[in-house]
Structure 1
């Protein structure tokens, strides 16, 4: 009965617009305070145990590396390279938007950071070129979903940590689905730009020497994900150490190679990193405490038994999970759901014979869709706020992108090899 009251309190707090992490903490506090089996320190202990983990250092390092990249001049060089490659094509700037997400996603690991950066840099340029502001904002929000799927996505690290799944395998498994999403978006924006008459004046076709110069300038940034994946697969370092190497890599580029980073920039980057890291860690701490309560009350076991008795086929199970996550993701932040639901889903995977790496990519993609859906989609609000696009306009423009994302998710459900091929080959 207590767990029902806890869940009800959490839902009420969320409805009252209390941040989800604090709503979870409030519900968890009530559970521990009303149960005589626990001391007053139990909640604090559970929270600390949730963040006191070596693998989570990877999140700290990759967030810091991603923020540092914005101060090194890498972002500017990657943008120049993306414009050289696709800027002269139909819907050139829209394709630059997608390509930039692919290239920057492998550096930042954070879809919020990616969406915010492109909203500031690229959306104003798109609007000047004749794109509808709502379309530019919706595309930016959707393309940022590529980021958590590609290595070193923060969501991949979280899922691997909570579900005890190889983070190295998850990094590799996300490559094909991430590139597929980029391909889907490139095709769609090509026809959308053609039909709606966006970007009537195209950039001139670049000379080979210009492309070569731009690619040389962006090569150091493009090489980072390759270094990370290669190092992990060759056993030179693990995912956590890879994050530390990414930070050192960013500092070397900023101070010694491009020489565009000052010590003032370094302090600003570290300050910005700490703010993002603190937000993520509070979510992890709160989610861990609540997840421990669910485990204590044997909720995962009860749900596993109930679901497996009613659903026999694994594909039907995944389709139901897709619908469930699409709805729940509208109201609760993705990282919170990742921490809470992963321990609940993991026991079910063995029953249905679903590979946890394949499920992880599917799971993260489903949660990412929720970030661009009302009423509390984090990417939706971030993008709309920066671009000053009204939410109702954003929703109207984002509908075709929802369809694309759902189609891609269904493809991944029915063809597990898309996420399992590379881990199998490289294992």
Structure 2
């Protein structure tokens, strides 16, 4: 009987998402159906699970890093890093497109939020790219896709969530994310070069750079660029936990505002309001998804799924392929953080049963869920970017095809070349 109740709860959740009910309400509804229809426990447990799901100490890192990223945008950091990226790529084909990718990579180490990164670059860079002759569709797709790098570069919110759910070292995930983030960055820069060469977008400038241009822009950007080093170094030597590193990031962001003379009381108040709103939206999803994950665990769904898969699939690489296809389908319809909280308790034990390294599987999982942000019909990065740039959704999806091919190639590399995920971790740890 209980299996039918679980199925009904899952159907309710998916129907709510399909009809664009807010994600946290959809997950609440699925969990509530379970308690109303078949659970022997009191529905009061639902409220307890929602609250306890948000009270994990590692999750405190989320509001801290979000706040630090918001303050970075108010202290002129973004502008200085963009000038540095522009100086580096000045003589490359597709100059502003390359700036777009590099800026996402460097800002990923500061903000941790892909949606914030996409919105910021859509406002700052897309109009400039259009003036330089890039199409609106290409500029929008590149902005959304490059924002995928943000959750992969520490301190990505996805890594904090995964680590707290699966009991995996968040510090190791941060280090692993550097390699994967750089892989995606380089891949996107190569694709931008190919497309720009073919379409004649901003051919490489032949005149030499001004003397000391790169050095000057680097000196202006060096203090913000030190933040990821401070975070990972502090965690590695044991000076701070990932949660405490978030508070260090906030203090560092405020100090930068003082150094650059660009922080005001008004900016601080606006930044705090923005941080609270963003954190609340994430934690509501975390609370609801934690309750639903508890339902699945209570009914021993993870254990049954592990037994079913391992008894029918005897090759770990075939398992990884099936996981990729499954997560891609899930990512098309369910917001990444919600899907992660529900699915990680299901799939992580199965991966462990196949002997797959926990860091390797974590980075593959996080990457595939990040791809969901740029896949229709629920791709959040699509809607955020197109909402700012006013790009037509159909034109966006058509322009995305070569980017989807690239993401699939990178995905397979991560799945079948574990050293890309674990090499840097083994070196550092």
Q: TM-score range by the shorter chain?
A: over 0.9
Shift in Å, 1:317: 0.4
Aligned pairs for 1:365-380 (under 5 A) are 365-380=367-382
Instruction: Provide the TM-score with structure 1 as the length reference.
Output: 0.98
2:83 is matched with 80
Aligned pairs for 1:382-397 (under 5 A) are 382-397=384-399
2:213 is matched with 210
Shift in Å, 1:31: 1.7
Q: How many residues align?
A: 426
Q: Distance in 2 between matches of 1:230 and 1:405?
A: 30
Structure 1 residues 201 and 24: CA distance shift in structure 2, 3 A: same
Q: Distance in 2 between matches of 1:387 and 1:203?
A: 31
Please give the secondary structure, in 2, of the residue aligned with 1:275: helix
Structure 1 residues 204 and 93: CA distance shift in structure 2, 3 A: farther
Shift in Å, 1:19: 1.9
Q: Distance in 2 between matches of 1:321 and 1:157?
A: 21
2:98 is matched with 95
RMSD: 1.3
Task: Say if 2:330 is the partner of 1:306.
Answer: no
1:409 is matched with 411
Task: Say if 2:235 is the partner of 1:249.
Answer: no
Q: Distance in 1 between matches of 2:311 and 2:305?
A: 10
Q: Distance in 2 between matches of 1:137 and 1:66?
A: 22
Q: Is the 8 A contact 1:50 1:285 kept in 2?
A: yes
Q: Is the 8 A contact 2:18 2:333 kept in 1?
A: no
2:335 is matched with 333
Structure 1 residues 309 and 201: CA distance shift in structure 2, 3 A: closer
Q: Distance in 2 between matches of 1:350 and 1:187?
A: 35
2:177 is matched with 174
Select the residue among 182, 193, 197 that pairs with 1:194: 197
Task: Say if 2:237 is the partner of 1:234.
Answer: yes
Please give the secondary structure, in 1, of the residue aligned with 2:72: helix
Task: Say if 2:283 is the partner of 1:281.
Answer: yes
Q: Is the 8 A contact 1:129 1:201 kept in 2?
A: no
Q: Distance in 2 between matches of 1:102 and 1:95?
A: 11
Q: Is the 8 A contact 2:197 2:203 kept in 1?
A: no
Any stretches of 5+ residues in structure 2 without a counterpart? none
Shift in Å, 1:412: 1.1
Q: Distance in 1 between matches of 2:203 and 2:34?
A: 60
Structure 1 residues 388 and 136: CA distance shift in structure 2, 3 A: same
1:353 is matched with 355
Q: Distance in 2 between matches of 1:222 and 1:203?
A: 29
Select the residue among 121, 125, 143 that pairs with 1:140: 143
Please give the secondary structure, in 2, of the residue aligned with 1:177: helix
Task: Say if 2:346 is the partner of 1:344.
Answer: yes
Q: Is the 8 A contact 1:87 1:203 kept in 2?
A: no
Select the residue among 220, 224, 228 that pairs with 2:227: 224
Q: Is the 8 A contact 1:2 1:31 kept in 2?
A: yes
1:322 is matched with 324
Select the residue among 112, 115, 132 that pairs with 1:129: 132
* More moved, 261-270 vs 24-33: 24-33
Select the residue among 15, 19, 24 that pairs with 1:16: 19
Q: Distance in 1 between matches of 2:29 and 2:184?
A: 38
Please give the secondary structure, in 2, of the residue aligned with 1:149: coil
Q: Distance in 1 between matches of 2:211 and 2:178?
A: 28
